[in-house]
Amino acid sequence: MKCRPGDSAQRADNQCTNCVSFGAQCTHVAALSRKNQGLTLNMRTWDKEALKVDDIKSQIDAILSETTPYPVPKDNRLAGALIKALAEYARQLEQQIATQDGASSAPASRGTSSVPPSNHGSVEPVERAMSRLEISREFGATKDVKVLQSARALKAELDPAHNIRRKAFWVSPEQSWEYLDMPHFAPLVFPDADLLDVLVSLYFQYFNPQICLIHAPTFRRQIAKGLHYASHAFGSVVLGVCALASRYTDDLRVGEGHHKGWVYFSQLRAVHGGQCLAKENLLWDLQLFPLMILYAYSLTLPNVARSLTGSGIRIAQTSNLHRLKREEGRLWSVENEMLKRVWWVLVTMDVYVCSLGGKTRATNFEEFDTDLPLEVDDGYWPGEPLSDPLNPWCQPPNIPSRVVFWTHHLRLVEILSFGQKTISTVRRGPFWDNIGCPEWGLNIARELQRSLDAWLDALPPHVRWDPYNLTPDSAFLACAFYGAQMQIHRPFLHEFSSAAACVGAARACAHIIVVYPIQTTPNVLLGACLLSSVLLLLHVKEGRLATKRDLEDVGRCMDRLEKYERVYRVAGRYRDIIREIFQLLKMPEETKNARKRGADVWESDIARPNIYGNEPNAFCDSNPLILPFPLQPAEEQVGEDPVDEFGGFAANLWQDVDLQRYLHGLEVWGGPPTGVRTDTFTY
């Protein structure tokens, strides 16, 4: 315990107020002085009862130091006190070893206590108890209870008579299950230096701008220092980066087709909640989760993706990242900002992965209050050449930050998340009807549409969709916007307003897909292709307002999925689903259950113009594409009869086609690619 400075000198008994309150002997230590020759005061006036082990250890370290000669005390009394202290410390160690050996060789007698008698005059128990009085973590509404529990434990240790907790059930360091550590993995195998440099560049070109997961300058400096060879945690992150970037290179060293990057992904092992995580590796351990999730999604490994998402979120919550905020007056480090961004990436993936698979999410926006990422590009972070030392974390006002795109995407994800937690649940609670909300779902959809409109109006110009100034960020946000709109209104297709919103969003999304750069991460694009095509095919089947352009839009989606399916296995699955739905709606009843990848004759009915030209990355036309439905908030139609004005989604027209059962039974995910062994893969 640290004594209050100057308090002991003001009291008659030369004992500070804190030590008197705790009933402990005052061990107020004076500063080191030349008179004492580097020995602290309690070493100079040595007393076995008040001796602190840290003082002896510091003297031992000084004696054994090979760089600085140890100053032997000239005063015989000091030298004798030092020798006596070292001898007493050695004797205590011998007694402790003998006690442990006896306890391990002979069982303890029933009814006896293994707790050694404590010295009430020593302040070491107080120091140990105070060191365990942790109140820094947040526990929501129960954090006050946690503080009381810590104080209660402190009192119990200071007064052993009131401590009724048995050490066998509370403190058992010999039990291996309480100290699980990272297993010893085989050495990581990295790509060649030239290939590694290419893969890292590809990752930061195509993946990182859309998720803002890794700080590029820091990551490159760590690789240049060879940290991936020394640290298994950082090396795993490097391999995760290589696995994703392998999708965008034709180098045969990374594999071919769906196997691109598997040689790197198969070496990765994500940590789990039972392991003892080292604080110095926390950032890298968490960054590994999103990298593995993205790769598992491309291979249609649903269980791996969902398990990794849930595990990463739980570990992040254990580390208090769900309450991470920047406080005024406190230094905000680069690692803090990266940890915060990892949390948001995990939340985003939780929303999208569970939306595609129809599973329950691990997060809820009402249960965390982490700040949004700082809208500062990598080059302006503290310590970078372009940063301002006097004003850290500041983006130049005349240079728009690319992170603005990501923060607005997070706000869109929050809207979609609320829809999943309300209108897309498995069952509706009876409380809504009891409080007079019979149409609560439709009302929520309308309110969420207003939120989508407000989100769209708040977009900055440099990330807003502009057909005359195409950017990957604007195309990504537009595609995500229409995808969220379709997800929100899809459960209410029997309502004219929701059906019109879905069809309009599907048409606009299909046209955006045409100009979406092929050399861009298709995470949001693939799901939007599937949902848009399904809604448009249903609209064409019986829709009175359907046009031939709807089939052309489906053809555009099919064309884009065909280009992606060469590398992304999930794209091929989505394309097969669209083909099956088309046959289900077009063919007679006896041919509705057609086999996958059947005859391609049916594709002639879908207009598929040469929208890409001769170059694989070319756009459909040389002129800017004008969407038939401008990127504007959807307007609700009031006072119109859905039956008279729109019949595309009338329920009675679909009695002969059980699409709900068909879509529910689709094997969208399934297993890994043929030839890829996952029986030995652990995560």
pLDDT per residue over 356-382, tens digit each? 777 788 888 888 999 999 999 999 999
Q: Is residue 471 part of a domain?
A: yes
Helix (H, G, I), strand (E, B) or coil at 99: helix
> What is the C-alpha separation between 389 and 489, in angstroms, rounded?
49
Nearest CA among 312, 360, 316, 321 for reference residue 340 = 321
pLDDT in tens, 163-215: 677 777 776 555 555 545 555 678 999 999 999 999 999 999 999 999 999 99
Are residues 471 and 497 both part of a single domain?
A: yes
Task: Please indicate, yes or no, whether residues 273 and 136 belong to a single structural domain of this protein.
Answer: no
- Neighbour tally for 668: CB within 10 Å: 16
Distance in angstroms (rounded) separating the CA atoms of residues 551 and 558: 10
**How many domains does one find in the chain?**
5
Asked whether residue 137 is assigned to any structural domain, the reply reads yes
Question: Is 619 within 8 Å of 514 (Cβ atoms)?
Answer: yes
Model pLDDT for residues 503-526, shown as the tens digit of each residue? 999 999 998 888 877 667 777 788
- % helix, strand, coil for the chain, step of 5: 55, 0, 45
390 three-class SS:
coil
H or E element that contains 294: helix 282-298
Residue 111 lies inside a defined structural domain of this protein = no
If asked whether residues 25 and 40 sit together in one domain, one would say no
Report for 77-86, 132-141, 281-290, 420-429: range of highest mean pLDDT: 281-290
Q: Contacts by 577-584 with C-beta closer than 8 Å and gap 24+? A: 577/530, 577/534, 577/666, 577/668, 578/530, 578/533, 578/534, 578/537, 578/554, 579/603, 580/666, 581/533, 581/534, 581/537, 581/659, 581/662, 582/537, 582/554, 582/606, 584/657, 584/659, 584/662
Tell me what pLDDT residue 650 has: 32
What is the model's pLDDT at position 109?
A: 41
In a domain, 682, yes or no: no
For all residues of the chain together, what is the average pLDDT?
73
pLDDT by residue (tens digit) across 283-295? 999 999 999 999 9
299 and 348 part of one domain? yes
pLDDT at residue 120 in the model? 44
Residue 675 forms part of a structural domain: no
- What's the pLDDT score for residue 433? 65
- CB neighbours (10 Å) of residue 638? 6
Q: Is the domain of 510 the same as that of 615?
A: yes
Separation in Å, CA 432 to CA 422, 423, 428, 435, 440? 11, 12, 8, 5, 7
Could you give the percent of the chain with pLDDT greater than 70? Answer: 62
The answer on 580 and 656 residing in a single domain is: yes
98 is written with which tokens?
Answer: 């003998």
* pLDDT tier for residue 440 given thresholds of 50, 70 and 90: confident
Q: Which of 506, 543, 501 is nearest to 643 (CA)?
A: 543
96-100, 152-156, 218-222, 664-668: which range is least confident on average? 664-668
Encode pLDDT of 304-345 as tens digits. 888 899 999 999 998 889 999 888 778 899 999 999 999 999
The pLDDT value recorded for residue 167 is 72
**Residue 310 burial by Cβ neighbours in a 10 Å radius (0-12, 13-18, 19+):** buried
Within-domain flag for 293: yes
pLDDT one-digit tens code per residue, 470-487: 888 998 999 999 999 999
Does residue 336 share a domain with residue 419?
no
Would you say 349 and 417 are in contact if contact means Cβ atoms under 8 Å apart? no
Residues 12 and 43 in one domain: no
Tokens representing 195? Answer: 């290939």
Q: Could you tell me if residue 507 is inside a domain?
A: yes
Are 628 and 495 found together in one domain? Answer: yes
In a domain, 374, yes or no: yes
Q: What is the pLDDT of residue 438?
A: 66
- Tell me the C-alpha distance between 426 and 420, whole Å: 10
CA distances to 148, 328, 329, 523 from 325, rounded to whole Å, are 25, 10, 12, 29
Domain check: are 212 and 283 in the same one?
A: yes
Q: How confident is the model at residue 631 (pLDDT cuts 50, 70, 90)?
A: very low
Here the tokens at position 261 are 């990057």
The confidence score (pLDDT) of residue 669 equals 39
- Tens of pLDDT along 19-33? 665 555 555 433 333
pLDDT of 459 strictly over 60: yes
Q: How many CA atoms lie within 13 A of 185 on its CB side?
A: 19
Choice between 501 and 428, residue whose per-residue pLDDT is larger: 501
Q: Within this chain, do residues 342 and 433 fall inside the same structural domain, yes or no?
A: no
Range of the structural domain that residue 158 is part of: 127-165
Shared-domain flag, residues 335 and 362: yes
Q: Of 380, 413, 429, which residue constitutes the final position of a domain?
A: 380
pLDDT digits (tens, 9 = 90+) for 633-673: 434 333 332 222 223 333 333 334 444 444 444 444 333 44
End-to-end CA distance of the chain: 45
